[in-house]
Structure 1
Amino acid sequence: MARQSNGSSHPALSYSDSIAASWSDFLLLVGRICLGWLFLVSGWAKFGNIAGTTGYFKGLGLAPPEAWAYFAGVGEFVLGAALILGIATRYAALVYFIWVLVATAIAHRYWTYPAPAQAAQYNNFLKNIAIMGGALYVFVFGAGSYAVDAKLAKR
């Protein structure tokens, strides 16, 4: 779904509208890969250090922490793959948004951390807001033509 022109007569804006329209499917793919890759590798990394992930979740007060560690690893990996491949894209993007919102509320309340850790947690908080914005864009605009969803819709 290409964005509509902003109606500007300024040549630079008209040119950017033209680029957005002609490259929209490719750019939607690139955006999905960027968002999906973040979750795919994060989920995979949790399995590479399940003890560390379990300890982190235990420190957050999540019980049982090992079950949450496996759930997070599987969930992030599957959501990342779904976004990259464009499978159930809008549903995946909506779940991705909710997932990051919940994770931010649980783990990145920077104002509750001691001063030395606040800057890192604040950066994670801001990063997560940006990720949620990206997930909403994917939810609104869909996967584009380069996606399993598009291939299935043609059947």
Structure 2
Amino acid sequence: MSANVKENVATIANPILDELSMELVDVEYKKEGKNWVLRMFIDHPDGIGLEECSLVSERMSQKLDEEDPIQGSYYLEVSSPGAERPLKNAKDFQGAVGKNVYIKTYEQIDGRKTFTGELVAYEDGEITINIREKTRTIAFQVPERLIANARLSVL
């Protein structure tokens, strides 16, 4: 059910965000305590502030009321992805080249599953990260299919 809600919300949100030159970074729909929360993370090249979140929240509330894609009551939250923005697709990874990232893999690579370093390249579904350990830098590639979690990292 949650996956369908996320897809339906993305379908509704994308035209609104396109009109505002914003992008939908992620959608969460989950139960928190007794309540369901629909959380949207949005971004813009110039950043996201309270005004932008309020504007999108207003427009989304109206559209969600019209289309009613979610049964039952829920709280809508719209926010910026923050400094540790998730990396979900090729566009995200390409935009993160040159930045510090945190990567967690499904399987061990060189004896470990978590990596933090500079994303130096993204090509054909492979990421290359420079990891600084003590005084050396290690460059290695990870196939995108092995990535369990990826986000920007604040070192």
Q: Give the structure with the larger strand fraction.
A: 2
Q: Give the structure with the larger helix fraction.
A: 1
With normalisation by structure 2, the TM-score equals 0.23
